[in-house]
Amino acid sequence: MDSTPSPSSSSPFDLVSSALERDLSGGGASAPEDPANGRQDQILGAVSLDRELRITRCSLNAPVFAGLHAGVGSPFVDLLPPGDVPTVTRRLHQVLQTGEAHVARIQRLRRDDGSELVVSMSVLPAAAPQEGLTVSLIAMATRLHLYAAETAIGTSLDIGETAQALAQSLLAWGDVAAVDLDYAVWTGEGITGHGEGRIRLRRAALVPDRAWPEGYVTPGDDLPGDASRLLALAVLRDDTPQAVVIPDREALERVFGGAQVMRALVPVDRSAGVACIPLVLAGEPPVVLGVAEVWRRADRPFRDSELFDLQELVARTAHHVDLARQHQREHTQVLALQRRLLPRTGGDTVEIASVYQPTTPDSAGVGGDWVNSFPLPDGRTALVVGDVVGHGLGAAAIMGQLSMEARALLSAGLAPDEVLEHLDETVTLLDDADSGLAAGYSALGSTCCIALYDPVSHQVALSSAGHLPPVLLSPDGHAQQLAVRPHPGLGAEFALREPFDVHTFDTPPGSLLALYTDGLVEDPAVSIDEGIGRLSAAVSTVHPWEDLQQAARRVVAALAPARRRDDVTLLLARMIGYRKGDTTTWRLPARPDAPARARARIAALLRQWGAADDTTETVLLLVSELVANAVRHATGPVTVRVIRAGHGLLCEVGDTGNGRPRLSRGGLLDEGGRGLQIVHRLTTRWGVRWTDTGKVVWAEVAK
C-alpha cells in the first residue's frame, strides 16, 4: 500500500518534506544544465538534521555544491559564515519548537576554500515518522542573485559599506572580490573625467575577510602608482570604459610587470585570473568611479555569460556608489561644522568638558543636539546646550544656524532671555514643517538652555526654552537640579507666549554645572524625574581633582541607555572664577568730580598690583573718559569695576542709562564726541552689555 500522505491529510510543507526525504533516500536531484551557455541556473539540494542540528543525511551532489563540507554527524552551522550562525541557529530552533516552516530565505554557505555560495534556504519540520528538520537549498538563479545583490547594495549611504556590499555580491562569481575607488570618490570630493593614466585608486572593500600576506593591498590602502595607472588604462581603452579579463598569472606579469605590483594585487602565488569591471557613471564622457575586480583560479576561466552578468550587476549599482560619495561629501562638511561648534577648553575662570554621541550609525554621526561654550569679551563665559527635533544632516544644519546666532547675540551683549526671544523668532522662520518632518527633523519644538557665568560675582544667569533643568554640584559635594521654571520650546506658537525667565544662582569656586540633553536621562523603564535623579547622583561622584573630560565620559557611560533613541549630550563646567585680590568694584555718585575720584582709586590699585607706568596711564585715561560719559549721559550711581586677568586688565563702567554708545567720525571743529574715539584707540577691544538697571561699557587693555 502506498504510504504517501494524501493532500487532504497533510499540509503543503508536509508534502514538500516527504518529497525531499524521498530525494535524500534516492541520491539527490538537480536541475539540468543548459548546454548553450554552460550555466546551471537552479540546483536543488537537501539536508536532514536531528534535534541537535547535526547532519544525518545530505544530498549535495550537484557540481554547484562542490566544496561544501556536509559530512554526516557534523554540525550544520559549520556550513555558515561565522556572523550568520546565531541568526540561523535561532531560526532552526524556532522551527523545531513551533513546527512552522521558514521558506525561501537568502543565505550564504561557506565552502572549504573560503569562498561562499548564495542559496535560497527553506527550513521545514521533517516529515513523519522522521524527527528533526529538513533543509532545502536552491542555488540561486542569476537573475534572483542580481536582484538580491542590488537590493543589499542600496541599503547604506556609507561609502565603505556600499563598496563592501558590492564586493560581497561579486564573490558569487569568484574566489576573491575587491572594489577599488578613485580617491576623490572615497573622500566625497567632486569628480570629473580623468586624463589618461591620472586615476588614483584606493582599496575600498575586499572579501573574504582573512589574513592576507604582507604587501597585499587591503581596505584603506592606496594601490601602487603603477597599478593605478595600468588599471586605469585597462578600463579606459579607447576612452570607453570596458570590462577586461586577464586570464592567468603569465598574462598578469606581462600587464603589471614588477614584483611589488604583483604582491600588491595578486592574492596568491599560484596562477589566477581576474575580471576588471569599471564602475561608470553614464555621461559624455562617462566618468569612472573605480574598478571592481573578481579573482579566481586560472583553471576556471570566465565565460562570456558570466562577464555579462558581472557588468550588469556593476552597472546597476554604480549609482549607489555615487550616492554614497555625495553623502560622504555632505557628511564631511557637516562634521566640520559640528566640530567647529564643539566647546573649546575653558580659560582661566572656568574648566569645560563635553561629550556628544549620536543616536545610531544611521544618523551618520551627526544630529540635532548642539553644545557650545565660549568666553565673552567682557570676561564672562557662555554655556549653551540645545536640541533640534530629529537627526541627520537637516537637523544638524538647523543646529548650526541656531548655535551661531546664539553666539553672535551673546557676544553682542544681549542677556540670555533676549537671545532666546530672537532664537524663537528664527525657528519660526526656519521651519518648513512638510519637508522637515519628511526628512526626519523639525525646527519647531527645539529646546535650548543658555547660562552665563560671571567669574567676579561667582553667579550664573540662566534662561531655558523647553530644556530640562541643569544639575549643580556645590563644593561640599551636594548635587541637585536647579529650580528652573518650565517654558515651551522654541517656535511653540500654539502655547501662551510668555517672556523667558532669567534665573540667577550662586556658584562659588569649585562648583560644577551640568547641562545636558534629554537623550542622557530618558529611559522608557523609568520616569524623567528618576533619570535626572540618576544624573545628579552620577555628577555628585565627580571629585574636585578629577580630570573633567574623563569624568564626563564616565557619567555618560553610566547613564546613557544601551539602546539609545536620541542623541546624548553632556556639558560639564567647573567654576574657578577670579581670586578676590584680582578684582575691585566701586560705586560713585554721578557728580562732576566722579572721574577724578575714579582716577585716584585706580592709581592706588595699579600701584598695589605693580602695573607698568604706560599701562597705568592708559587705564587712567580710559576710565576717566568712560566715567565722564556715564555722568554726562545717564543718571544714578556709576559703578566702576577693574579685573586683573591673564591677558591684561578689564575695565567696566556701569550706569542707569539705556542708550547705546556709538563710535562716530567726529569733525575737526566738533566740541564733543571724541571720548569713544579715545577708548577705541587705547584698547584692544571694547563693547556694551545691558543689565536690569542699565548698561555696562567694558574695555580691555593689554598688559
CB count, 10 Å around CB of 15? 15
- Please give the average per-residue pLDDT across 589-614, as a whole number: 89
- Please give the average per-residue pLDDT across 160-187, as a whole number: 82
- Please give the average per-residue pLDDT across 242-270, as a whole number: 77
Q: Is the pLDDT of residue 585 over 60?
A: yes
How far apart CA 657 and CA 690 sit, in angstroms, is: 10
Predicted TM-score of the model (pTM): 0.55
Beta-carbon contacts of 677 under 8 Å, excluding residues fewer than 6 positions away, are 663, 666
Per-residue pLDDT, 336: 60
Per-residue pLDDT, 456: 87
Q: Does domain 144-332 have CATH number 3.30.450.40?
A: yes
State pLDDT tens for residues 24-45: 555 444 444 443 344 444 467 8
Per-residue pLDDT, 202: 85
Domain ranges of the chain: 12-140, 144-332, 342-575, 581-702
pLDDT band at 441 (very low <50, low <70, confident <90, very high): low
Between 104 and 473, name the one with better pLDDT.
473
- Please give the average per-residue pLDDT across 379-406, as a whole number: 78
How far apart CA 334 and CA 368 sit, in angstroms, is: 11
pLDDT band at 3 (very low <50, low <70, confident <90, very high): very low
CB 459 within 8 A of CB 416: no
* C-alpha grid cell, residue 486: 518650565
Question: Among 120-134, 295-309, 471-485, 491-505, which is the least confidently predicted range?
Answer: 491-505
Question: Measuring CA to CA, how many Å separate 111 from each of 300, 379, 451, 626?
Answer: 16, 69, 62, 85
How far apart CA 546 and CA 133 sit, in angstroms, is: 59
Q: Is the pLDDT of residue 264 over 60?
A: yes
- Nearest residue to 107 (alpha-carbon basis) of 129, 134, 88, 128: 88
Between 316 and 599, name the one with better pLDDT.
599
Per-residue pLDDT, 108: 79
How far apart CA 95 and CA 17 sit, in angstroms, is: 13
Q: Is the pLDDT of residue 351 over 60?
A: yes
How far apart CA 134 and CA 106 sit, in angstroms, is: 16
Query: Which numeric CATH code is attached to 342-575?
Result: 3.60.40.10
Between 537 and 174, name the one with better pLDDT.
537
Per-residue pLDDT, 31: 41
Helices H / strands E in the chain, number of each: 17, 25
| Homologous superfamily of the 581-702 domain (CATH) | Histidine kinase-like ATPase, C-terminal domain (3.30.565.10)
One fold for 12-140 and 342-575: no
Question: Among 123-127, 144-148, 506-510, 522-526, which is the least confidently predicted range?
Answer: 144-148
pLDDT band at 439 (very low <50, low <70, confident <90, very high): very low
Place of cell 546565531: 86
| Homologous superfamily of the 12-140 domain (CATH) | PAS domain (3.30.450.20)
Per-residue pLDDT, 74: 92
Q: Is the pLDDT of residue 669 over 50?
A: no
Question: Measuring CA to CA, how many Å separate 251 from each of 242, 291, 298?
Answer: 18, 19, 11
Q: Is the pLDDT of residue 666 over 50?
A: yes
Tell me the β-bridge partners of 387: 369, 447
How far apart CA 167 and CA 160 sit, in angstroms, is: 11
Per-residue pLDDT, 390: 62
- Nearest residue to 415 (alpha-carbon basis) of 378, 443, 387, 386: 378
How far apart CA 490 and CA 467 sit, in angstroms, is: 10
State pLDDT tens for residues 50-103: 999 999 988 887 777 888 888 889 999 999 888 788 888 988 999 998 888 887
Interior CA angle at 152 toward 146 and 156, to 5°? 140
How far apart CA 116 and CA 81 sit, in angstroms, is: 8
Per-residue pLDDT, 221: 86
Between 310 and 361, name the one with better pLDDT.
310
Q: Rounded mean pLDDT of the chain?
A: 77
How far apart CA 348 and CA 686 sit, in angstroms, is: 20
State pLDDT tens for residues 506-546: 999 999 999 998 888 887 778 888 889 999 999 999 988 88
CB 315 within 8 A of CB 276: no
How far apart CA 482 and CA 514 sit, in angstroms, is: 10
* C-alpha grid cell, residue 45: 539540494
